[in-house]
Amino acid sequence: MIDINLIRNDPELVKENIKKKFQDQKLPLVDEAKMLDEEVRKIKVELDSLRENRNALSKQIGLLMRDKKVDEANDIKVKVAQINDRIPELETKQAEDETKLKAIMMQIPNIIDKSVPIGKDDSENVEVQRFGEAKVPDFEIPYHADIIAKFNGLDKDSAGRTSGNGFYYLIGDIARLHEAMIAYGRDYMINQGFTYAIPPFMIRSDVVNGVMSFAEMEAMMYKIEGEDLYLIGTSEHSMIGRFKGQIIKEEELPITMTSYSPCFRKEGGAHGLEERGLYRVHQFEKQEMIVICKPEDSMNWYEKMWKYTVEVFRNLNIPVRQLECCSGDLADLKVKSCDIEAWSPRQQKFFEVGSCSNLSDAQARRLGIRIKGDKNNYLAHTLNNTVLASPRAIIAFVENNYNKDGTITIPEVLRPYMGGKDKLTPNVK
């Protein structure tokens, strides 16, 4: 949610930003917000005047009654009664207009950073740089589900019976590999100075509305029937929500945390679910990182954060690239975002395994996360980034570490988490 002062002082800037995001249908919202804001402020001025007048008249009544001027006092009481009738009417109108204004402001996208490339959708995202050599071996790389099947590592049929399409069982060495990668991502971030946390896996609607746009919520979140609770789609939601309504001392910043959670997503719409494999599913697990910092530090943290993910994947022998998200692909609260994509030697292309985002003060404004400064309190900046999400990381891992004889090489950083194994050998011919 943007600062209302932008609507008051530079509505054309807000409209131009909406156009850059190819959301022209939202352009009328700017004028609606400006009109409602003016009405709210006008009512406030009138209410302040009425209350001030009422206090002055009440003092007059006291003085007149003291001087036994009862008729004059009664005349003024009539005026006070009229004011008392008017104030609740205005207060009701003020509350209604403020509610309408907030609803509109929640739909107006954040002002994107000047460095963001302009484009309509993810097809116009821009590759920035690559890390590691994207090789195609001289032998065939099977589909990831077929590789995992050789290890008796995946059971989607049973998951279909217990839970439906979009769920899975990971078994044996593959399940252990999954946990090893998550644990390695956790320990890597702890070694970078981040504090480890396991957050709630359900959050209330006021937190959901604070951390994401309505469109994202509708597309992603599962609601618990009969309760004001949603299953989280990423631990960023509950991690940022932890600071809702808090005033943070400057000396406590930056707050840097890494969190583990299962994640639950509808994965509806055009993308759909993957029938055989693990690329798009309803449930996965993720190691996440979040930063809360001063506004002037947020872009520096953004650059640090996505590089952490690159190093994690390179240490797993997975080539990756950084892809700058264009304006039309940015969610409404984000000012800048990039995807980290892993190389698929089977498909000979990159695919998304993580996303790093700077949301400036949008989440902090919605949730009331402020910093206590020397003179005034001000809004914090919030950022989030994927360390590693499985099973997508498993897909990238098994393809890039697959050998011609069907074995999977375990990189050195994972061996302590895999009982010292340096290789996985298929148990199905």
Distance CA 200, CA 383 (A): 19
Smallest Cα–Cα separation from 361: which of 192, 124, 163, 110? 110
79: which 2 tokens?
């005026």
pLDDT for res 270 = 47
Walk me through the domains of the chain, giving residue ranges and CATH numbers: 4-105 (1.10.287.40), 122-424 (3.30.930.10)
pLDDT at 206 over 90: yes
Q: What does the pLDDT average to over 92-96?
A: 95
Q: How confident is the model at residue 192 (pLDDT cuts 50, 70, 90)?
A: very high
- DSSP code per residue over 39-107: HHHHHHHHHHHHHHHHHHHHHHHHHHHHTT-HHHHHHHHHHHHHHHHHHHHHHHHHHHHHHHHHHHHTT
How many CA atoms, within 13 angstroms, populate the side-chain half-sphere of residue 280? 13
pLDDT at 272 over 60: no
386: which 2 tokens?
């994927």
Distance CA 424, CA 413 (A): 15
Q: How confident is the model at residue 62 (pLDDT cuts 50, 70, 90)?
A: confident
pLDDT for res 70 = 84
- Mean residue pLDDT of the chain comes to 94
Q: What is the pLDDT of residues 63-89, one digit of tens each?
A: 888 888 888 888 889 998 999 999 999
pLDDT for res 213 = 79
Tell me if 319 sits within 8 A of 259, measured CB to CB.
no
Q: What does the pLDDT average to over 280-305?
A: 96
